[in-house]
Amino acid sequence: MADDSVSKDVRKASASGAPKKKSALSELFAPVAGFGVSFSTMFRKVATEEYPEKPRPTAPRFHGRHQLNRHPDGLEKCVGCELCAWACPADAILVEGADNDDTPGGAGRFSPGERYGRVYQINYLRCIFCGLCIEACPTRALTMTNFYELADNDRGKLIFTKDQLLAPLQEGMLPPPFPMADGMEERDYYQGKVTAATDSQRTYVDARDASEDAEAHAAAHDSDASGNVGAALPGEHDVVHATHPTAAATREGANP
């Protein structure tokens, strides 16, 4: 008796779960139902972005091209510590630090403190825009902008150098090298006590530029006297050198 009751339950379950036969009308309109979804979307508003004619604005914290920031007087915030290069998981950053030299005849001062970033390169063929370099920077010298149009058909142009990454001079800033503000130390810069370039710094930069202009004028006069003048087309000269410098010799800190 127990076996008979079990078999009856199995038959009832199989009968209830058996697929029902579709009607001929539903089978006829089944293919049309799929086209109905496509047809209904034809009258909706188009969500296509008209790029690059109308680029969409990015989020405020978007990870775009990097930027090396400056202090309010124009000195660079980067101290050449290379922590950003160590934190980069893609090995896309190359940094070479150097000492600030305020002695007469020295290279000058480019940042507060002892060192500055002499060479700074970012290879955007490797960069994954993760932002770990920003977190590692102890002086807040490196940040990321909202600029993202970095595509190019030349691989060499995607290795950005320091002159491309350095923030432009704003109002009240001076182009380094020049001494720190009078009576200020390195920590005073990062505490926000320096708000703009001082009069003594402006006087130093004006004297430096005047001296460089005089030296350039004297060098041009000497070259004219020796007869080594430039040709009519830029880049061509009347003196042809037997050897040409290699890329490593002409581009400071270039990747191999």
Known binder of ligand: residue 4? no
pLDDT at 229 over 90: no
* Concatenated DSSP letters of 110-148: SSSSSEEEEEEEEETTT-----HHHHH-TTS-EEE-S--
Known binder of ligand: residue 11? no
Known binder of ligand: residue 130? yes
| Minimum mean pLDDT range among 11-15, 172-176, 187-191 | 11-15
* Tens digit of each residue's pLDDT (9 = 90 or more) over 192-216: 999 999 999 999 999 999 988 888 8
pLDDT at 220 over 70: yes
DSSP SS3 for 111: coil
Separate counts of helices (H) and strands (E) for the chain: 8, 5
Known binder of ligand: residue 48? no
Chain centroid to CA 3: 77
Instruction: Write down all domains in the chain, each with its CATH number in brackets.
Output: 66-190 (3.30.70.3270)
Known binder of ligand: residue 133? yes
Pair type for strands 66-68 and 142-144: antiparallel
* Tens digit of each residue's pLDDT (9 = 90 or more) over 237-246: 333 333 333 3
Length of the chain: 256
Known binder of ligand: residue 247? no
**Sign, CA torsion 138/69/159/120:** negative
59 dihedral zone (left: phi>0; alpha: psi -120 to 50; beta):
beta
State percent of the chain over pLDDT 90. Answer: 54
